[in-house]
Amino acid sequence: MQNGFESTARSFMTSPQGIKIIKGLDKYNAAMNTPAGKQLLTMMAGSGSDALKTAAQASINAPKDPGRALLQNLLSSKDGAALAAKVIEVLGI
């Protein structure tokens, strides 16, 4: 017997929106299995995560536009800029 969560999950995964998200995850997983993706994961496990954490902390205190504050802070550090560049390379955006 299914519980409510299982039923909701099955319904979501078969909806057009759910299928779109799953395809996006498949694309993301494929990107992470490339050499550049593995480099990105290594960066995020090292100093890149510190840059991301610092940027996130700065954006919490931003009175307006926390997303913009996050990006500005992230891109203002060498490690953060390198991390952002690698994300763009891996995801092709």
Are the C-beta atoms of 80 and 47 separated by less than 8 Å? Answer: no
What pTM was computed for the model?
Answer: 0.64
Please state, in angstroms and rounded to a whole number, the distance separating the CA atoms of residues 51 and 75: 9
Confidence of residue 85 (pLDDT cuts 50, 70, 90): very high
What are the backbone dihedrals phi and psi of residue 4, each rounded to the nearest 5 degrees, phi first? -60, -35
Assigned token pair, 38? 């593995």
Residue 1 confidence (pLDDT) above 60 = no
For residue 2, what is the enclosing H or E element? none
Are the C-beta atoms of 70 and 51 separated by less than 8 Å? Answer: no
